[in-house]
Structure formats: structure tokens, C-alpha cells
Amino acid sequence: MTTERTFSIIKPDATRRNLTGKINAKFESNGLRIVAQKRVRLTQDMAERFYGVHKERPFFKDLVKFMISGPVVVQVLEGTDAVAANRKIMGATNPANADAGTIRKEFAESVEANSVHGSDSLENAKNEIAFFFSEVEIVG
């Protein structure tokens, strides 16, 4: 068990429905601390670079369009085994496959509008955090 930091995005479908507080309550009640957070509107260039690993996927264009369709809340979450813990709290990418009680089961609208993004590895977490935050903005 190690204390880790992971990166999270509350996506436009969730900010549009005013769900930021309800989603944050899921993180906090499951042992993660929000140690950095800001609400931003991604530019097309930012969204394309952030999701660059999916560039060849058929859903890439629509994903970028969706991610710039409204504000997002970018966050750093800290806690024991935070990367895996957050993936459990979020639930499966497709809400149809998500377990009961997870964010995506309760709030997601579709596989694209799935309310949250979370890093899938510690290495990606480090890169994704650095994409949005400087060290002084992260307060543990």
C-alpha cells in the first residue's frame, strides 16, 4: 500500500448537469483527497494533445468535440493506491458494464459522455498531472 496521486477529469456531461459536488463526494467518501482542482474550458489543441494516444481510434474526433463542448474540472486525487482506487470508484468505461455504486453507473450518460476520466497507470498519472498543474498548485 502506497500513497499515490492520480489525475481526474469531471467531464462536460457532468458539469452541465451540476454534478461536480456529487462526484467529489464519491472520491472523498471512498478515501481520496482532492489536493488540486480547477475548472477549465479545454481548447481543441489541448484536448487533441491530452487524448493523443487515442488519435487513431474511430471515436477520437467525437471525443475531442465532446471534451471541448463545455467546462471540465481537472483534479489531482491523493490516497492509498490512488490510481487503482479511483478506477474502482469510477467504474467501467462503458456505464452499461459499471458496477453498482460507481460514478459511471450512477451518473454517466454513454460510453463517450461517461462523466469522469481517471489515469490508467501511475506513469500516465504523472504525465497527465504535469499537463495541467504545476507543483505549487498541488497542496497535500
List the one residue out of 26, 25, 63 whose CA is nearest residue 46: 63
The length of the chain is 140
Q: What is the closest distance, in whole angstroms, from the C-beta atom of residue 136 to ligand CMP in the complex? A: 26
Q: Which of 111, 122, 124, 126 binds ligand CMP (CB under 6 A)?
A: 111
The verdict on 84 binding ligand CMP (CB under 6 A) reads no
Cβ nearer to ligand CMP, comparing 41 with 139: 41
Catalytic residue of the set 91, 117, 125, 128? 117
Question: Residue 73: which H helix or E strand, with range?
Answer: strand 72-80
The verdict on 59 binding ligand CMP (CB under 6 A) reads yes
Neighbours of 130 (CB within 10 A): 11
Cβ nearer to ligand CMP, comparing 69 with 93: 93
